[in-house]
Structure formats: structure tokens, C-alpha cells
Amino acid sequence: MPQGQSKSITLDKAISARRTNVRWLVVAVLFFVTLINYADRASISLAGPGMAKDLGLNAVDMGVIFSAFGWAYVLFQLPGGWLLDRYGSKLIYSLSIFFWSLFTLMTGLAGFVTGAAAVVVVFCLRFLVGAAESPSFPANSRLVAAWFPASERGTAAAIFASAQYGATVFFAPLMGWLAHTYGWHSVFTVLGLIGIAFLPLFRKLVHDPLSHPMTNQAELDHMQQGGALVNMDGDKHKPRLSWLKQLLGSRMMLGIYLAQYCLNAIGFFFITWFPVYLVQEKHMTIMKAGFVAAIPAVCGFLGGIMGGFLSDVLIRRGMSLSLARKLPIVCGMLLCCVMVLCNYTDSETAVIAIMAASFLGKGIGGMGWTVNADTAPKEIAGLSGSVLNTFSNASSITTPIIIGFILQLTGSFNGVLWFVIAHAVAVILFYLFMVGKIKRFELRDVGEEA
């Protein structure tokens, strides 16, 4: 064989053996689709004032409409997880994207009715958006479990989870401009069209690992050797009620779910009452409060990426999975607790710095989706994610109400801050004393026919 041809064959083998990195492309797609997801959720808040004026809606009407998404999102979590495990991530996620985008688009056409009829129409459409979006985060977690080894899973989960903060940066200016320039209808119309337009790209780039046309054997070997569930969709099982009972009966899994409830409660303080706190308790102007309220979101984004990255670095340096996950969670929640120092200062600068540090800690410690990807049974990874999200979003209903009662009883936010940091302490206690060793949960009686 000629020497030149021999070198060419050797080079071809080297190129074919070089590991692809398709898994990072997949998680990038998840990041962008989650940006769209959260923008569609938030669209009602920016379109709301114009909608209320045009359709003749009062504050109570708008409150009812605002609640529609949350109720549906919680109610449809378990059915959404069941569908993911029964029919696979790609199909159900694709349908989810299409229908939440369609119902968002249709909301922009709701101007043909007013009054009570408008409340019913818009409530139903927002309810349907919530139902359609319910499989999205469990699907994200399921795909990360399939595509990523343990030593990269924290970073991957942090990337898609950080989109909840990034959506404000990417889409809030666009939605505000649309509402101001073209009216509230345009917000829903444009966001719905963006989601539908993104769907073909999602379907082209997201597959299960074994059937993806762009990945090679070297990448599959890397993923499998690190614990990725690459054949998750190829080995489907019909989820059973007994498996759900096993999840809830597991001390480890229940501890993870309860901790996620507490984590989301902290987040919902920032989403709902934090601007009110700045105005009423710290006497900031509305304009300043609006600017300051964006700072924790940025810190949460940075903290989320930081926590996942540091956890993966610890694993690569030989630390056990349990310690590598729990250390950022505990440290992050301890940092979150500095929030209570705001009770003892009237300095606006100090309040901003303390709250920024607190939300940075919340981001660092907010690794519930990573831990779910580490522990969820391969047969029902979608259902496990849905249970996690059910616990998580239950706090979106309870937290704002409880804070309202605390304010009514005490007339001050001092007790509210103690209430919020109590959740951070609870997260620490759940992970240290209830979760135990973090490992893949194995179902009993998997081989039996349903």
C-alpha cells in the first residue's frame, strides 16, 4: 500500500474516533425552547393592562385569569409525566411545544368578546397553555438523564433551568415593545408564532441518543460509561400506579420532592412579593423597585450555572455523587439565609447587596432537577420529574397566600423574611437527614406485566 494512502486511512480512523459533542447541542436546544416556554408564561403579565382595558376586565377578573395557568400546570403534571414515559420525550415534547404555542397564539384573537365572556375565553386558553406546558420540565430532566453522564449532568441541568431567569432578559423587552407599539394582541401572536417556528428545529436536533444522526460511538461510550440512560426511550414501560407509590414511599425521593417545594417557595417570594417589599418596607420608588427586582434574577441565573458547574467539577475530581451534589446545595442555602439581615438595615445599597447574595445562593443550591436526573428510575424518569414539579409548583399556590396572611397579621415584612429563610433551612435538613445517599432509584417488579 502506498505510504500516502496509509496515512490517509490512519487520519480517517482518527477523525471517526474523535468524540462528538452532540449532547451539548441538545441541551442548547432545551435552553432556547425553555426561554420560549417561560416567555409564553409571562406574556399575560405584560399584555394584561391593555387586555383589561380593551375587554372591560376588573382586578378580580385579571386575578382569575392569572391563576388559570398555575392550576392547569399543577393538575396535569402527573398525566404529562406518564405520557413521557409511555411514548417518549421527543413525541410528547413536540406536541407540548405545538399546543402551548397554538393556545398562546389563539389568546391574541380573544378580542372579539368582552366582560364575563372574555374572562371565560381567556381563562380557558391560559388553562390550556398550562396543561400543554406541563410535560416540558420533566422532559428536560428526562433528556438530560438520557444524554449526560453524572460528571456533566449538573451543568446540563443548570443550563436549561437557568432559562427561567434568562427569559426575562431575552423576551421582556420584546413583549413590552410589542404591547406598546401594536397592542396586547401582538404579544400573544408573536410568541405563539415563535414557538411554532422553533418546532421544526427542535425535531431536527433532538432525538434519543441511540438514534441521533449526528452522534458517534465514542460519544455514546462516554455517556454510557458515566451513567447516562442512553436507551431510555428504546426500553419503554407502561407506567403503573404501584411505581408512583414506590416513588412516594422512598425516603430519598420524598426528601428530594419536599426540598424542591421549599426551593420554589423561595423563588416565588422573589417573583410575587419582592417588589412590594422594596416599595412598602424599604420605601423605594416604583421605578427603582422595578430596576432592583431584576438584580436577583441575574444573580439567580449566574448562581444556577455556577452550582451545576462546581458540582460536576467535584465529581470529576473524585468526590462521591452524594457529596458533590449536597455541598453546593447546603452552601447555597446557607448563603440564601443572609436575606434576614435586611431586617436590620435601612440602607438601600445594603438591601440590594444582601438580596443579590441571597438569590445567588438560591441559584447555587437550586439543583433539584439535577438530583432528579441522578435518581429518577429509568422506567419512569418523566413521571418522577412530574412529581418533583408538582411538589415544586404547589408552593406557587401556598407561598403568596401565606405571606399575605403574615403581612395582614404583623403589618411588617420582618416575619416574611424569617418565613422565607425557614424554607432554605428546611432544604438543608431534607438533604442532610432525609435524602441520604444519592443514587439511581430502582423499581421493584419491573419485569412483571402491567
Task: Specify the pLDDT at position 281.
Answer: 80
First to last CA, the chain: 60
Write the CA distances from 282 to 289, 348, 420, integer angstroms: 10, 7, 17
- Please name the residue that has the C-alpha cell 391563576: 67
Say how many C-beta atoms besides its own lie within 10 A of residue 210's C-beta. 13
Cα pseudo-dihedral 320, 325, 327, 331, rounded to 10? 170
Q: Specify whether the CB–CB gap between 104 and 192 falls below 8 A.
A: yes
Q: Give, as one character, the DSSP assignment of residue 214.
A: T
pLDDT at 408: 85
Distance CA 115, CA 126 (A): 17
How is residue 28 written as a grid cell? Answer: 442548547
Give the whole-angstrom CA distance, residue 303 versus residue 338: 15
Give the separation between CA 308 and CA 304, rounded to whole angstroms.
Answer: 6
- Give me the helix-helix angle, 163-182 and 22-55, nearest 10°: 40
pLDDT in tens, 77-99: 999 999 999 899 999 999 999 99
CA distances from 264 to 19, 36, 270, 343, 398 (A): 37, 20, 10, 22, 11
Query: Are 52 and 61 spatial neighbours (Cβ–Cβ below 8 Å)?
Result: yes
pLDDT at 171: 80
The reply to whether the predicted model has a pTM over 0.75 is: yes
- Angle formed by the axes of helices 241-249 and 251-268, to 10°? 80
Residue ranges in the chain whose pLDDT is less than 50: 5-16, 449-450
- Return d(Cα 10, Cα 387) in angstroms, integer: 51
Per-residue DSSP letters for 36-102? HHHHHHHHHHHHHHHHHHHHT--HHHHHHHHHHHHHHHHHTHHHHHHHHHHH-HHHHHHHHHHHHHH
DSSP 98-151: HHHHHHHHHHTTGGG--HHHHHHHHHHHHHHHHHHHTTHHHHHHHHHHHH--HH
Per-residue pLDDT, 290: 60
Query: Do the beta carbons of residue 143 and residue 11 sit within 8 Å?
Result: no
Cβ 127 vs Cβ 73: under 8 Å: no
Q: What's the rounded Cα separation, in Å, for the pair 326 and 435?
A: 10
Q: What is the pLDDT of residues 439-449, one digit of tens each?
A: 999 998 766 54
- What b/e readout covers 386-415, taking b as 16+ CB neighbours within 10 angstroms? bbbbbbbbbbbeebeeebeebbeeeeebee
Residues counted in the chain = 450
